[in-house]
Amino acid sequence: MIGVLKGTGVYIPAHVLNNDDLSKMVETNDEWIRERTGVVTRHVIEDETTVFMAAEAAKAAIADAGIMPQEIDLIIVATISSNVILPCTACEVQKEVGAINAACFDMNAACTGFLFACNTAQAYIQSGMYKCVLIIGAESLSNLVDWTDRGTCILFGDGAGAAIMCAEEEAQYVAVTHSDGIKGSALECESRHRKGWEKKLIGDTTYMRMDGQAVFKFAVKKVPEVIEEVLEKAGVQKVEISYYILHQANKRIVESVAKRLKEPIGKFPMNLYEYGNTSSASIPILLDELKKNGTLKRGQKIVMAGFGAGLSWGAAVLTWE
Ligand code: UT7
């Protein structure tokens, strides 16, 4: 059996911060942010939590797939910014959506999280262990961002996206994933837990720190490489690919990947203009948008590719159902 992505759903916080709003918080301006990143607005939570957004996206995906919550036998939530550690976000989602037959766990693979979660679901489905998996990417990055650091705060946004992956007899899903912990310092966020027996509360003084240029260079080199690698592994030619669904980090990264692959930019849909970089949520939010507006059609081959902290990166080629 092979897992195919069926229903999708999202939750996007209503509150919007535009570039002019940010220029009142740090020394930046709309022109710089648009030119260097492509981001125009980002949605950020007010009273919402990661669990709430994940559950809302999940409910929408379940309805879109036309399945009963009881049919779900596994829930994986990819997140780096949950409001809960115990019980895990996936268990909280299970409670909210009534997926009483599911096993649940969370996964941290940063901005590659949704891709790693899809691959994990796929491996379970191919092994025969599970048949119907709810996969969610949900982030409240506004809680981890240093709102005095113009190098990072302009990039990120909050939101959640979900998809249902179900077992089918005939389908294609081929994936390649990589990690490089040696280069991990390029994008870090320390734990906010107490430091062991010293009981020293670090509080909320730890935030995401990023060497933007290092991450940029890594992304524009590794993402085209991993896409070529996965296409070769799948025996699929670039001409057969309808769309490349990339993690939405920076429009210049997406443009550079298209150029290096010698593929038209029209095959690389983007919505980072509106949402910014929502880490593990960016790919499922984009998938949902493309499904709902009719861009993605049954039978098309697509590539999903993610990259981010770890460092981690990967790609999957699949047939859209
Ligand atoms: O999800 C995966 C994780 N993250 C990423 O994929 C991010 C990858 N990196 C990037 O997207 C880009 O590196 C950034 C958007 C973060 C930064 O763009 P950049 O073109 O690499 O800028 P830079 O860091 O090289 O800075 C260029 C200049 C500097 O000024 P000087 O030294 O040339 O005078 C910065 O101080 O731009 C300045 N700068 C800003 N100016 C206005 C940096 N941030 C800002 C800002 N507004 N927000």
pLDDT digits (tens, 9 = 90+) for 263-277: 999 999 999 999 999
Ligand 1 atom with minimal separation from the 37 CA: 15
More confident residue, 190 or 41: 41
Q: Which of 216, 222, 283 to mutate to test the pocket of ligand 1 (most atoms within 8 A of CB)?
A: 216
pLDDT at 260: 98
Sign of CA dihedral 163, 167, 173, 178: positive
Q: Whose CA is nearest to atom 6 of ligand 1?
A: 249
pLDDT at 205: 63
Query: Does 277 participate in catalysis according to the annotation?
Result: yes
pLDDT of 201 over the 70 cut:
no
pLDDT digits (tens, 9 = 90+) for 5-19: 999 999 999 999 999
pLDDT of 203 over the 70 cut:
no
Ligand 1 pocket by Cβ (under 6 Å): 28, 32-33, 36-37, 111, 150-151, 154, 187, 212-213, 215-216, 219, 249-250, 253, 277, 308
Question: How many whole angstroms separate alpha carbon 17 and alpha carbon 237?
Answer: 40
pLDDT at 152: 95
pLDDT digits (tens, 9 = 90+) for 272-301: 999 999 999 999 999 999 999 999 999 999
Calculate mean pLDDT across residues 73-96.
97
Query: Does 91 participate in catalysis according to the annotation?
Result: no
Question: How many whole angstroms separate alpha carbon 137 and alpha carbon 155?
Answer: 18
Sheet order of strands, 173-179 included: 173-179, 312-319, 301-308, 241-246
* Span from the CA of 253 to the centroid of ligand 1 (angstroms): 13
pLDDT of 94 over the 80 cut:
yes
Calculate mean pLDDT across residues 109-134.
97
* Span from the CA of 213 to the centroid of ligand 1 (angstroms): 7
* Annotated catalytic residue, options 88, 111, 132, 189: 111
pLDDT digits (tens, 9 = 90+) for 208-235: 999 999 999 999 999 999 999 999 999 9
Ligand 1 atom with minimal separation from the 111 CA: 1
CA 253 to chain centre: 16
- pLDDT band at residue 170 under the 50/70/90 scheme: confident
Q: Average model confidence (pLDDT) for the chain?
A: 95
- pLDDT band at residue 198 under the 50/70/90 scheme: low
Query: Does 43 participate in catalysis according to the annotation?
Result: no
Ligand 1 atom with minimal separation from the 250 CA: 11
pLDDT at 130: 98
- pLDDT band at residue 194 under the 50/70/90 scheme: low
* Span from the CA of 26 to the centroid of ligand 1 (angstroms): 13
Ligand 1 atom with minimal separation from the 151 CA: 44
pLDDT at 200: 62
Q: Whose CA is nearest to atom 29 of ligand 1?
A: 151
pLDDT at 249: 97
pLDDT at 277: 98
